[in-house]
Structure 1
Amino acid sequence: MNKRSLPSTVTLANGVKMPKIGLGVFKVENEEELLTAVNAAIETGYRSIDTASIYGNEEWVGKAIRQSGLNREKLFITSKVWNADQGYEKTLQAFNTSLEKMGMEYLDLYLIHWPVEGKYADTWRALEELYKEGRIKAIGVSNFQVHHLDKLLKTAEIKPMINQIELHPKLSQKELRCYAGQHDIKIEAWAPLMQGGLLENEILNGLAKKHGKSVAQIVLRWHLQNEIIIIPKSTKAYRIKENADLFGFELSDEDMNLIDSLNEDLRVGPDPDHFDF
Protein backbone atom coordinates (compact mmCIF):
# COMPACT_ATOMS: atom_id res chain seq x y z
CA MET A 1 0.00 0.00 0.00
CA ASN A 2 1.25 3.47 -0.85
CA LYS A 3 2.11 5.25 2.36
CA ARG A 4 0.15 8.29 1.24
CA SER A 5 -2.99 6.18 1.30
CA LEU A 6 -2.62 5.01 4.89
CA PRO A 7 -6.01 3.85 6.18
CA SER A 8 -7.73 6.31 8.53
CA THR A 9 -8.56 3.57 11.06
CA VAL A 10 -6.67 0.81 12.83
CA THR A 11 -8.26 -2.55 13.67
CA LEU A 12 -7.90 -3.53 17.32
CA ALA A 13 -7.36 -7.12 18.48
CA ASN A 14 -11.11 -7.67 18.89
CA GLY A 15 -11.97 -6.35 15.41
CA VAL A 16 -13.13 -2.89 16.52
CA LYS A 17 -12.00 -0.12 14.17
CA MET A 18 -10.47 2.94 15.87
CA PRO A 19 -9.62 6.23 14.14
CA LYS A 20 -5.87 6.80 13.85
CA ILE A 21 -6.28 10.50 14.64
CA GLY A 22 -8.30 11.86 17.55
CA LEU A 23 -8.67 15.05 19.55
CA GLY A 24 -7.17 15.12 23.04
CA VAL A 25 -8.82 17.43 25.59
CA PHE A 26 -6.30 17.25 28.46
CA LYS A 27 -6.23 20.53 30.42
CA VAL A 28 -9.11 22.07 28.47
CA GLU A 29 -10.74 23.53 31.58
CA ASN A 30 -13.10 26.07 30.00
CA GLU A 31 -16.47 24.83 28.78
CA GLU A 32 -16.80 27.23 25.84
CA GLU A 33 -13.27 26.49 24.70
CA LEU A 34 -13.91 22.75 24.79
CA LEU A 35 -17.24 22.99 22.97
CA THR A 36 -15.60 25.09 20.25
CA ALA A 37 -12.65 22.68 19.92
CA VAL A 38 -14.80 19.54 19.69
CA ASN A 39 -17.12 21.24 17.20
CA ALA A 40 -14.14 22.29 15.03
CA ALA A 41 -12.72 18.77 15.23
CA ILE A 42 -15.97 17.10 14.18
CA GLU A 43 -16.45 19.60 11.33
CA THR A 44 -12.89 18.81 10.18
CA GLY A 45 -13.70 15.11 10.12
CA TYR A 46 -12.37 13.87 13.47
CA ARG A 47 -14.44 11.02 14.84
CA SER A 48 -12.38 10.23 17.96
CA ILE A 49 -12.38 12.26 21.19
CA ASP A 50 -10.15 11.34 24.15
CA THR A 51 -11.00 12.49 27.68
CA ALA A 52 -10.59 11.18 31.26
CA SER A 53 -12.40 11.54 34.56
CA ILE A 54 -9.47 13.50 36.06
CA TYR A 55 -9.68 16.10 33.26
CA GLY A 56 -12.97 17.32 34.73
CA ASN A 57 -14.53 17.89 31.30
CA GLU A 58 -16.40 14.66 30.50
CA GLU A 59 -19.72 16.47 30.89
CA TRP A 60 -18.72 19.09 28.31
CA VAL A 61 -17.50 16.41 25.90
CA GLY A 62 -20.93 14.78 26.09
CA LYS A 63 -22.62 18.15 25.55
CA ALA A 64 -20.38 18.95 22.56
CA ILE A 65 -21.20 15.62 20.94
CA ARG A 66 -24.92 16.12 21.40
CA GLN A 67 -24.65 19.63 19.94
CA SER A 68 -22.81 18.27 16.90
CA GLY A 69 -25.93 16.42 15.80
CA LEU A 70 -23.74 13.48 14.73
CA ASN A 71 -25.04 9.98 15.37
CA ARG A 72 -23.31 8.56 18.47
CA GLU A 73 -22.43 5.36 16.58
CA LYS A 74 -20.25 7.37 14.19
CA LEU A 75 -17.99 8.56 17.02
CA PHE A 76 -15.24 6.88 19.02
CA ILE A 77 -15.17 8.13 22.61
CA THR A 78 -12.43 7.29 25.12
CA SER A 79 -12.26 7.92 28.86
CA LYS A 80 -10.08 6.65 31.69
CA VAL A 81 -10.46 5.54 35.29
CA TRP A 82 -8.39 7.68 37.66
CA ASN A 83 -5.96 6.33 40.27
CA ALA A 84 -8.12 7.12 43.30
CA ASP A 85 -10.99 5.16 41.73
CA GLN A 86 -9.03 1.98 41.04
CA GLY A 87 -9.98 -1.42 42.45
CA TYR A 88 -12.84 -3.63 41.29
CA GLU A 89 -15.93 -2.04 42.88
CA LYS A 90 -14.67 1.54 42.70
CA THR A 91 -13.88 1.17 39.00
CA LEU A 92 -17.41 -0.03 38.25
CA GLN A 93 -18.76 3.03 40.09
CA ALA A 94 -16.31 5.38 38.34
CA PHE A 95 -17.34 4.03 34.93
CA ASN A 96 -21.02 4.61 35.70
CA THR A 97 -20.22 8.15 36.84
CA SER A 98 -18.32 8.87 33.61
CA LEU A 99 -21.19 7.56 31.47
CA GLU A 100 -23.69 9.60 33.46
CA LYS A 101 -21.62 12.78 33.06
CA MET A 102 -21.33 12.27 29.31
CA GLY A 103 -24.95 11.21 28.90
CA MET A 104 -23.95 8.04 27.06
CA GLU A 105 -24.97 4.39 27.19
CA TYR A 106 -21.53 3.01 26.32
CA LEU A 107 -17.91 3.99 25.67
CA ASP A 108 -15.82 2.95 22.71
CA LEU A 109 -12.63 2.70 24.77
CA TYR A 110 -11.98 2.75 28.52
CA LEU A 111 -8.46 2.80 29.92
CA ILE A 112 -6.71 2.35 33.25
CA HIS A 113 -5.08 5.77 33.50
CA TRP A 114 -1.94 4.73 35.44
CA PRO A 115 -0.59 1.38 36.70
CA VAL A 116 -1.35 1.73 40.41
CA GLU A 117 0.50 -1.17 42.05
CA GLY A 118 -1.70 -3.53 44.04
CA LYS A 119 -4.84 -2.26 42.30
CA TYR A 120 -4.56 -2.42 38.53
CA ALA A 121 -5.25 -6.20 38.31
CA ASP A 122 -8.58 -5.74 40.13
CA THR A 123 -9.29 -2.63 38.06
CA TRP A 124 -8.73 -4.71 34.93
CA ARG A 125 -11.22 -7.36 36.13
CA ALA A 126 -13.83 -4.59 36.31
CA LEU A 127 -13.00 -3.46 32.76
CA GLU A 128 -13.27 -7.05 31.53
CA GLU A 129 -16.73 -7.35 33.10
CA LEU A 130 -17.94 -4.08 31.57
CA TYR A 131 -16.57 -5.20 28.22
CA LYS A 132 -18.37 -8.55 28.41
CA GLU A 133 -21.59 -6.69 29.23
CA GLY A 134 -21.18 -4.66 26.03
CA ARG A 135 -20.88 -1.35 27.88
CA ILE A 136 -17.39 -0.77 26.44
CA LYS A 137 -16.42 -1.65 22.86
CA ALA A 138 -12.69 -1.95 23.67
CA ILE A 139 -10.55 -1.87 26.83
CA GLY A 140 -6.96 -0.91 27.44
CA VAL A 141 -4.36 0.69 29.64
CA SER A 142 -2.38 3.91 29.76
CA ASN A 143 1.19 4.58 30.90
CA PHE A 144 1.98 0.87 31.34
CA GLN A 145 5.61 -0.16 31.00
CA VAL A 146 6.68 -3.62 29.75
CA HIS A 147 6.86 -5.03 33.29
CA HIS A 148 3.34 -3.75 34.11
CA LEU A 149 1.96 -5.40 30.97
CA ASP A 150 3.85 -8.61 31.72
CA LYS A 151 2.31 -8.76 35.18
CA LEU A 152 -1.18 -7.93 33.95
CA LEU A 153 -1.12 -10.53 31.18
CA LYS A 154 -0.45 -13.27 33.77
CA THR A 155 -3.92 -12.76 35.30
CA ALA A 156 -5.92 -11.07 32.51
CA GLU A 157 -8.64 -13.02 30.76
CA ILE A 158 -8.74 -10.45 27.96
CA LYS A 159 -5.59 -8.72 26.72
CA PRO A 160 -5.47 -4.92 26.65
CA MET A 161 -6.23 -3.68 23.14
CA ILE A 162 -4.49 -0.32 23.59
CA ASN A 163 -1.61 1.09 25.61
CA GLN A 164 -1.76 4.88 25.58
CA ILE A 165 1.67 6.28 26.45
CA GLU A 166 3.76 9.42 26.17
CA LEU A 167 5.47 9.05 22.80
CA HIS A 168 7.19 11.52 20.47
CA PRO A 169 10.56 11.74 18.65
CA LYS A 170 12.40 12.57 21.88
CA LEU A 171 10.80 9.54 23.59
CA SER A 172 10.35 6.92 20.88
CA GLN A 173 9.61 3.98 23.24
CA LYS A 174 10.93 1.34 20.80
CA GLU A 175 11.17 -1.49 23.34
CA LEU A 176 7.61 -0.92 24.56
CA ARG A 177 6.33 -0.64 20.98
CA CYS A 178 8.06 -3.90 20.06
CA TYR A 179 6.57 -5.70 23.08
CA ALA A 180 3.09 -4.35 22.30
CA GLY A 181 3.40 -5.52 18.70
CA GLN A 182 4.24 -9.05 19.84
CA HIS A 183 1.04 -9.11 21.93
CA ASP A 184 -1.26 -7.37 19.41
CA ILE A 185 -1.62 -4.33 21.66
CA LYS A 186 -1.94 -1.09 19.67
CA ILE A 187 0.07 1.92 20.78
CA GLU A 188 -1.57 5.33 21.15
CA ALA A 189 0.56 8.43 21.77
CA TRP A 190 -0.31 11.18 24.17
CA ALA A 191 1.75 14.38 23.88
CA PRO A 192 2.73 13.31 20.32
CA LEU A 193 4.09 16.82 19.76
CA MET A 194 5.89 16.86 23.14
CA GLN A 195 3.51 19.63 24.22
CA GLY A 196 5.11 22.01 21.72
CA GLY A 197 8.65 21.13 22.76
CA LEU A 198 9.68 20.06 19.24
CA LEU A 199 8.67 23.12 17.26
CA GLU A 200 12.11 24.77 17.29
CA ASN A 201 14.05 21.59 16.48
CA GLU A 202 16.46 22.21 13.60
CA ILE A 203 16.14 18.76 12.00
CA LEU A 204 12.35 18.83 12.12
CA ASN A 205 12.26 22.36 10.71
CA GLY A 206 14.49 21.21 7.86
CA LEU A 207 12.09 18.35 7.07
CA ALA A 208 9.11 20.71 7.32
CA LYS A 209 10.72 23.02 4.76
CA LYS A 210 11.57 20.07 2.49
CA HIS A 211 7.96 18.82 2.43
CA GLY A 212 6.22 22.20 2.59
CA LYS A 213 4.51 21.19 5.83
CA SER A 214 4.55 22.36 9.46
CA VAL A 215 6.80 20.74 12.08
CA ALA A 216 3.65 19.38 13.75
CA GLN A 217 2.55 17.68 10.52
CA ILE A 218 6.01 16.12 10.06
CA VAL A 219 5.99 14.72 13.61
CA LEU A 220 2.41 13.45 13.41
CA ARG A 221 3.10 11.82 10.05
CA TRP A 222 6.12 10.07 11.63
CA HIS A 223 3.73 8.60 14.21
CA LEU A 224 1.28 7.39 11.58
CA GLN A 225 4.00 5.73 9.49
CA ASN A 226 5.12 3.98 12.69
CA GLU A 227 1.52 2.69 13.07
CA ILE A 228 0.94 4.77 16.21
CA ILE A 229 -2.51 6.22 16.99
CA ILE A 230 -2.37 9.94 17.83
CA ILE A 231 -4.52 12.33 19.87
CA PRO A 232 -2.91 15.77 19.48
CA LYS A 233 -4.50 18.35 21.76
CA SER A 234 -5.46 21.77 20.43
CA THR A 235 -8.25 24.26 20.99
CA LYS A 236 -7.50 26.33 17.85
CA ALA A 237 -9.56 25.45 14.76
CA TYR A 238 -6.69 26.00 12.30
CA ARG A 239 -4.37 23.74 14.33
CA ILE A 240 -7.04 21.05 14.65
CA LYS A 241 -7.44 21.11 10.86
CA GLU A 242 -3.66 21.11 10.25
CA ASN A 243 -3.12 18.19 12.65
CA ALA A 244 -5.47 16.02 10.59
CA ASP A 245 -4.00 16.98 7.19
CA LEU A 246 -1.43 14.17 7.14
CA PHE A 247 -2.34 12.02 4.16
CA GLY A 248 -1.12 14.04 1.17
CA PHE A 249 2.59 13.41 1.64
CA GLU A 250 4.95 10.77 2.94
CA LEU A 251 8.27 10.67 4.78
CA SER A 252 11.06 8.68 3.16
CA ASP A 253 12.99 6.00 5.04
CA GLU A 254 15.80 8.55 5.33
CA ASP A 255 13.40 11.11 6.84
CA MET A 256 12.08 8.51 9.28
CA ASN A 257 15.58 7.49 10.38
CA LEU A 258 16.52 11.13 10.87
CA ILE A 259 13.53 11.64 13.18
CA ASP A 260 14.32 8.37 14.97
CA SER A 261 17.80 9.74 15.72
CA LEU A 262 16.26 12.48 17.90
CA ASN A 263 15.37 10.02 20.68
CA GLU A 264 16.77 10.96 24.11
CA ASP A 265 14.29 9.02 26.31
CA LEU A 266 13.13 12.47 27.39
CA ARG A 267 9.73 12.85 29.07
CA VAL A 268 7.49 15.90 29.51
CA GLY A 269 5.11 13.91 31.73
CA PRO A 270 5.66 11.68 34.77
CA ASP A 271 7.70 8.48 34.58
CA PRO A 272 5.27 5.58 35.29
CA ASP A 273 7.94 3.90 37.43
CA HIS A 274 8.40 6.97 39.63
CA PHE A 275 4.93 8.51 39.68
CA ASP A 276 3.37 9.45 43.01
CA PHE A 277 0.03 7.66 42.73
Structure 2
Amino acid sequence: MASEAPQQSSQPAEEIPGFLDAFLCDFPAPLSPENPAPWKLPGTVLSQEEVEGELADLALGFLSSRGASPPLGSSLAHEAVSQLLQTDLSEFRKLPGQEEEEDDDEEEKAPVTLLDAKGLAHTFFNRLWEVCSQWQKQVPSTARGPPGPWLVSMHAIRNTRRKMEDRHVCLPAFNQLFGLSDPTDRAYFAVFDGHGGVDAARYAAVHVHTNVARQPELPTDPARALREAFRRTDEMFLGKAKRERLQSGTTGVCALIAGKTLHIAWLGDSQVILVQQGQVVKLMEPHRPERQVRKGEKKKL
Protein backbone atom coordinates (compact mmCIF):
# COMPACT_ATOMS: atom_id res chain seq x y z
CA MET A 1 0.00 0.00 0.00
CA ALA A 2 1.21 3.51 -0.69
CA SER A 3 1.90 5.64 2.35
CA GLU A 4 2.22 8.88 0.40
CA ALA A 5 -0.24 10.86 -1.68
CA PRO A 6 -0.51 9.37 -5.18
CA GLN A 7 0.33 11.38 -8.24
CA GLN A 8 -2.43 12.31 -10.64
CA SER A 9 -1.73 12.23 -14.36
CA SER A 10 -3.41 15.49 -15.32
CA GLN A 11 -1.69 18.85 -15.49
CA PRO A 12 -3.51 22.18 -15.19
CA ALA A 13 -3.52 24.07 -18.47
CA GLU A 14 -1.78 27.08 -16.90
CA GLU A 15 1.25 24.92 -16.04
CA ILE A 16 1.96 24.02 -19.67
CA PRO A 17 3.34 27.44 -20.72
CA GLY A 18 5.47 27.43 -17.58
CA PHE A 19 6.96 24.05 -18.47
CA LEU A 20 7.68 25.17 -22.04
CA ASP A 21 9.25 28.43 -20.83
CA ALA A 22 11.54 26.53 -18.46
CA PHE A 23 12.52 24.03 -21.15
CA LEU A 24 13.40 26.74 -23.67
CA CYS A 25 15.25 28.69 -21.00
CA ASP A 26 17.51 25.69 -20.37
CA PHE A 27 17.79 24.96 -24.11
CA PRO A 28 17.58 28.38 -25.82
CA ALA A 29 18.62 27.01 -29.21
CA PRO A 30 18.76 23.70 -31.08
CA LEU A 31 21.80 21.54 -30.41
CA SER A 32 24.81 22.12 -32.60
CA PRO A 33 26.50 19.06 -34.16
CA GLU A 34 29.23 19.24 -31.49
CA ASN A 35 26.81 19.10 -28.55
CA PRO A 36 25.51 15.65 -27.50
CA ALA A 37 21.81 15.06 -26.90
CA PRO A 38 20.92 15.14 -23.17
CA TRP A 39 19.76 11.52 -23.01
CA LYS A 40 21.20 8.03 -23.16
CA LEU A 41 21.32 6.52 -26.62
CA PRO A 42 19.18 3.42 -27.34
CA GLY A 43 22.14 1.36 -28.59
CA THR A 44 24.24 2.10 -31.65
CA VAL A 45 21.74 1.21 -34.39
CA LEU A 46 17.97 0.99 -34.78
CA SER A 47 15.88 -0.78 -37.37
CA GLN A 48 13.32 1.34 -39.18
CA GLU A 49 10.55 -0.43 -37.26
CA GLU A 50 12.14 0.36 -33.89
CA VAL A 51 12.45 4.11 -34.41
CA GLU A 52 8.98 5.15 -33.23
CA GLY A 53 9.06 3.23 -29.96
CA GLU A 54 12.66 4.00 -29.04
CA LEU A 55 12.45 7.74 -29.69
CA ALA A 56 9.08 8.08 -27.95
CA ASP A 57 10.58 6.29 -24.93
CA LEU A 58 13.56 8.67 -24.93
CA ALA A 59 11.30 11.72 -25.04
CA LEU A 60 8.88 10.45 -22.38
CA GLY A 61 11.65 9.70 -19.90
CA PHE A 62 13.39 13.01 -20.54
CA LEU A 63 10.26 15.15 -20.34
CA SER A 64 9.01 13.33 -17.24
CA SER A 65 12.34 13.96 -15.50
CA ARG A 66 11.78 17.68 -16.13
CA GLY A 67 8.30 17.64 -14.60
CA ALA A 68 6.04 17.25 -17.63
CA SER A 69 2.71 15.58 -16.87
CA PRO A 70 1.89 12.35 -18.74
CA PRO A 71 -0.60 14.09 -21.10
CA LEU A 72 1.82 16.89 -21.97
CA GLY A 73 4.89 14.64 -22.24
CA SER A 74 2.98 12.14 -24.38
CA SER A 75 1.62 14.88 -26.66
CA LEU A 76 5.05 16.46 -27.16
CA ALA A 77 6.66 13.07 -27.78
CA HIS A 78 4.00 12.11 -30.32
CA GLU A 79 4.29 15.38 -32.24
CA ALA A 80 8.09 15.24 -32.37
CA VAL A 81 8.19 11.58 -33.41
CA SER A 82 5.47 12.06 -36.03
CA GLN A 83 7.28 15.01 -37.59
CA LEU A 84 10.59 13.15 -37.67
CA LEU A 85 9.06 10.04 -39.26
CA GLN A 86 7.68 12.20 -42.07
CA THR A 87 11.20 13.23 -43.07
CA ASP A 88 13.76 11.31 -45.12
CA LEU A 89 15.81 9.19 -42.71
CA SER A 90 18.14 7.79 -45.37
CA GLU A 91 20.98 10.02 -44.16
CA PHE A 92 21.13 7.88 -41.00
CA ARG A 93 21.31 4.58 -42.86
CA LYS A 94 24.11 2.20 -41.95
CA LEU A 95 25.22 -0.90 -43.82
CA PRO A 96 24.64 -4.19 -41.98
CA GLY A 97 27.65 -5.70 -40.27
CA GLN A 98 29.61 -8.53 -41.79
CA GLU A 99 28.34 -10.95 -39.14
CA GLU A 100 24.79 -10.54 -40.44
CA GLU A 101 25.73 -11.51 -43.99
CA GLU A 102 27.39 -14.81 -43.06
CA ASP A 103 24.39 -16.42 -41.34
CA ASP A 104 22.90 -18.99 -43.72
CA ASP A 105 20.92 -21.01 -41.16
CA GLU A 106 17.64 -19.46 -42.23
CA GLU A 107 15.97 -18.76 -45.53
CA GLU A 108 17.00 -15.55 -47.22
CA LYS A 109 15.03 -12.57 -46.01
CA ALA A 110 14.88 -8.96 -47.10
CA PRO A 111 17.77 -7.05 -45.51
CA VAL A 112 16.87 -4.97 -42.47
CA THR A 113 17.47 -1.24 -42.82
CA LEU A 114 19.59 -0.10 -39.88
CA LEU A 115 19.88 3.53 -38.83
CA ASP A 116 22.52 5.34 -36.78
CA ALA A 117 21.02 5.78 -33.31
CA LYS A 118 23.36 8.59 -32.26
CA GLY A 119 22.52 10.74 -35.26
CA LEU A 120 18.81 10.02 -34.90
CA ALA A 121 18.78 10.89 -31.20
CA HIS A 122 20.55 14.20 -31.88
CA THR A 123 18.21 15.17 -34.72
CA PHE A 124 15.20 14.04 -32.71
CA PHE A 125 16.09 16.32 -29.80
CA ASN A 126 16.19 19.29 -32.16
CA ARG A 127 12.80 18.24 -33.53
CA LEU A 128 11.47 18.14 -29.97
CA TRP A 129 12.97 21.57 -29.35
CA GLU A 130 11.17 22.91 -32.44
CA VAL A 131 7.84 21.50 -31.23
CA CYS A 132 8.31 23.12 -27.80
CA SER A 133 9.18 26.40 -29.49
CA GLN A 134 6.04 26.25 -31.64
CA TRP A 135 3.83 25.33 -28.68
CA GLN A 136 5.24 28.16 -26.59
CA LYS A 137 3.49 30.48 -29.04
CA GLN A 138 0.30 28.42 -29.39
CA VAL A 139 -0.50 25.32 -27.32
CA PRO A 140 -2.77 22.92 -29.27
CA SER A 141 -5.93 21.92 -27.47
CA THR A 142 -4.96 18.25 -27.84
CA ALA A 143 -1.88 18.86 -25.68
CA ARG A 144 -3.95 19.70 -22.65
CA GLY A 145 -5.86 16.45 -22.62
CA PRO A 146 -8.77 15.53 -20.37
CA PRO A 147 -8.12 15.28 -16.63
CA GLY A 148 -7.01 11.68 -16.13
CA PRO A 149 -8.58 9.55 -13.39
CA TRP A 150 -5.44 7.46 -12.89
CA LEU A 151 -3.72 7.54 -9.52
CA VAL A 152 -0.24 6.03 -9.46
CA SER A 153 1.42 4.90 -6.24
CA MET A 154 4.65 6.71 -5.36
CA HIS A 155 6.05 3.31 -4.37
CA ALA A 156 5.29 1.88 -7.79
CA ILE A 157 7.32 4.70 -9.34
CA ARG A 158 10.26 4.47 -6.93
CA ASN A 159 10.51 0.70 -6.81
CA THR A 160 11.09 0.15 -10.51
CA ARG A 161 14.32 -1.71 -9.68
CA ARG A 162 16.08 -0.41 -12.76
CA LYS A 163 19.37 -1.99 -11.69
CA MET A 164 17.73 -5.41 -11.96
CA GLU A 165 16.22 -7.27 -14.88
CA ASP A 166 12.62 -6.10 -14.83
CA ARG A 167 10.98 -3.08 -16.41
CA HIS A 168 7.70 -1.36 -15.60
CA VAL A 169 5.55 0.74 -17.94
CA CYS A 170 2.99 3.34 -16.86
CA LEU A 171 1.18 5.16 -19.70
CA PRO A 172 -1.98 6.86 -18.42
CA ALA A 173 -2.00 9.06 -21.55
CA PHE A 174 -1.90 6.25 -24.14
CA ASN A 175 -4.06 8.07 -26.69
CA GLN A 176 -1.96 11.24 -26.58
CA LEU A 177 1.27 9.30 -27.06
CA PHE A 178 0.03 7.78 -30.32
CA GLY A 179 -2.30 10.54 -31.51
CA LEU A 180 -5.40 8.34 -31.30
CA SER A 181 -8.46 10.48 -31.92
CA ASP A 182 -11.29 7.99 -31.40
CA PRO A 183 -13.54 8.69 -28.38
CA THR A 184 -12.31 5.74 -26.25
CA ASP A 185 -9.97 6.83 -23.46
CA ARG A 186 -7.09 4.39 -22.91
CA ALA A 187 -4.37 3.74 -20.34
CA TYR A 188 -1.68 1.06 -20.43
CA PHE A 189 0.39 -0.52 -17.67
CA ALA A 190 2.86 -3.41 -17.90
CA VAL A 191 5.57 -5.35 -16.08
CA PHE A 192 8.28 -7.36 -17.85
CA ASP A 193 10.46 -9.67 -15.76
CA GLY A 194 13.74 -10.29 -17.56
CA HIS A 195 15.75 -13.49 -17.44
CA GLY A 196 19.39 -13.84 -18.41
CA GLY A 197 19.76 -10.09 -18.78
CA VAL A 198 17.65 -6.97 -19.11
CA ASP A 199 17.64 -6.67 -22.91
CA ALA A 200 14.40 -8.53 -23.66
CA ALA A 201 12.52 -6.88 -20.77
CA ARG A 202 13.63 -3.42 -21.81
CA TYR A 203 12.76 -4.11 -25.45
CA ALA A 204 9.27 -5.32 -24.57
CA ALA A 205 8.74 -2.31 -22.29
CA VAL A 206 9.45 -0.01 -25.24
CA HIS A 207 7.80 -1.83 -28.14
CA VAL A 208 4.77 -3.86 -26.99
CA HIS A 209 2.55 -0.80 -26.46
CA THR A 210 3.89 0.77 -29.67
CA ASN A 211 2.84 -2.34 -31.57
CA VAL A 212 -0.55 -2.33 -29.82
CA ALA A 213 -1.19 1.21 -31.06
CA ARG A 214 -0.23 0.18 -34.61
CA GLN A 215 -2.91 -2.51 -34.82
CA PRO A 216 -5.91 -1.40 -36.93
CA GLU A 217 -8.19 -3.65 -34.84
CA LEU A 218 -7.39 -1.85 -31.57
CA PRO A 219 -10.70 0.11 -31.50
CA THR A 220 -12.86 -2.95 -32.25
CA ASP A 221 -10.87 -5.93 -30.93
CA PRO A 222 -8.32 -4.91 -28.26
CA ALA A 223 -7.64 -8.56 -27.30
CA ARG A 224 -6.54 -9.37 -30.82
CA ALA A 225 -4.45 -6.20 -30.96
CA LEU A 226 -2.64 -7.25 -27.77
CA ARG A 227 -1.99 -10.76 -29.09
CA GLU A 228 -0.60 -9.41 -32.34
CA ALA A 229 1.54 -6.87 -30.47
CA PHE A 230 3.12 -9.63 -28.37
CA ARG A 231 3.78 -11.71 -31.48
CA ARG A 232 5.25 -8.82 -33.47
CA THR A 233 7.45 -7.62 -30.60
CA ASP A 234 8.81 -11.16 -30.24
CA GLU A 235 9.69 -11.23 -33.94
CA MET A 236 11.38 -7.83 -33.72
CA PHE A 237 13.44 -8.82 -30.68
CA LEU A 238 14.53 -12.08 -32.30
CA GLY A 239 15.90 -10.00 -35.17
CA LYS A 240 17.73 -7.68 -32.79
CA ALA A 241 19.04 -10.62 -30.73
CA LYS A 242 20.42 -12.23 -33.87
CA ARG A 243 22.12 -9.01 -34.98
CA GLU A 244 23.60 -8.23 -31.58
CA ARG A 245 24.13 -11.74 -30.19
CA LEU A 246 21.67 -11.30 -27.30
CA GLN A 247 20.39 -14.27 -25.31
CA SER A 248 18.00 -12.89 -22.70
CA GLY A 249 14.26 -13.44 -22.37
CA THR A 250 11.34 -12.03 -20.42
CA THR A 251 7.90 -12.74 -19.07
CA GLY A 252 5.30 -10.05 -19.52
CA VAL A 253 1.93 -8.90 -18.30
CA CYS A 254 -0.01 -5.90 -19.68
CA ALA A 255 -3.17 -4.13 -18.60
CA LEU A 256 -4.93 -2.06 -21.25
CA ILE A 257 -7.87 -0.04 -19.95
CA ALA A 258 -10.13 0.98 -22.84
CA GLY A 259 -13.06 3.05 -21.66
CA LYS A 260 -14.56 1.01 -18.82
CA THR A 261 -13.12 -2.33 -19.95
CA LEU A 262 -9.94 -3.90 -18.58
CA HIS A 263 -7.96 -6.14 -20.97
CA ILE A 264 -5.14 -8.32 -19.62
CA ALA A 265 -2.48 -9.99 -21.79
CA TRP A 266 0.39 -12.09 -20.49
CA LEU A 267 3.14 -14.58 -21.26
CA GLY A 268 4.99 -16.39 -18.51
CA ASP A 269 4.30 -16.20 -14.79
CA SER A 270 4.04 -12.45 -14.25
CA GLN A 271 0.63 -11.76 -12.74
CA VAL A 272 -2.07 -9.12 -12.33
CA ILE A 273 -4.15 -8.94 -9.16
CA LEU A 274 -7.36 -6.92 -9.03
CA VAL A 275 -8.57 -5.87 -5.59
CA GLN A 276 -12.23 -4.87 -5.66
CA GLN A 277 -13.69 -3.51 -2.42
CA GLY A 278 -11.06 -5.39 -0.45
CA GLN A 279 -11.61 -8.69 -2.26
CA VAL A 280 -9.07 -10.30 -4.61
CA VAL A 281 -10.54 -11.05 -8.03
CA LYS A 282 -8.73 -13.70 -10.08
CA LEU A 283 -8.05 -12.39 -13.58
CA MET A 284 -5.59 -14.84 -15.13
CA GLU A 285 -3.81 -18.16 -15.00
CA PRO A 286 -0.03 -17.58 -15.08
CA HIS A 287 1.88 -19.64 -17.65
CA ARG A 288 3.97 -21.93 -15.46
CA PRO A 289 5.63 -25.18 -16.63
CA GLU A 290 3.47 -27.26 -14.27
CA ARG A 291 0.21 -25.64 -15.44
CA GLN A 292 -2.18 -28.17 -16.93
CA VAL A 293 -4.03 -27.10 -20.07
CA ARG A 294 -7.64 -28.14 -19.77
CA LYS A 295 -9.37 -29.98 -22.60
CA GLY A 296 -10.53 -27.56 -25.26
CA GLU A 297 -8.42 -24.71 -23.86
CA LYS A 298 -5.91 -22.99 -26.11
CA LYS A 299 -2.58 -21.66 -24.99
CA LYS A 300 -2.97 -18.00 -25.81
CA LEU A 301 -2.69 -14.57 -24.23
TM-score, scaled to structure 2: 0.23
Relative contact order (C-alpha < 8 Å, sep 6+): which is higher? 1
Greater C-alpha Rg? 2
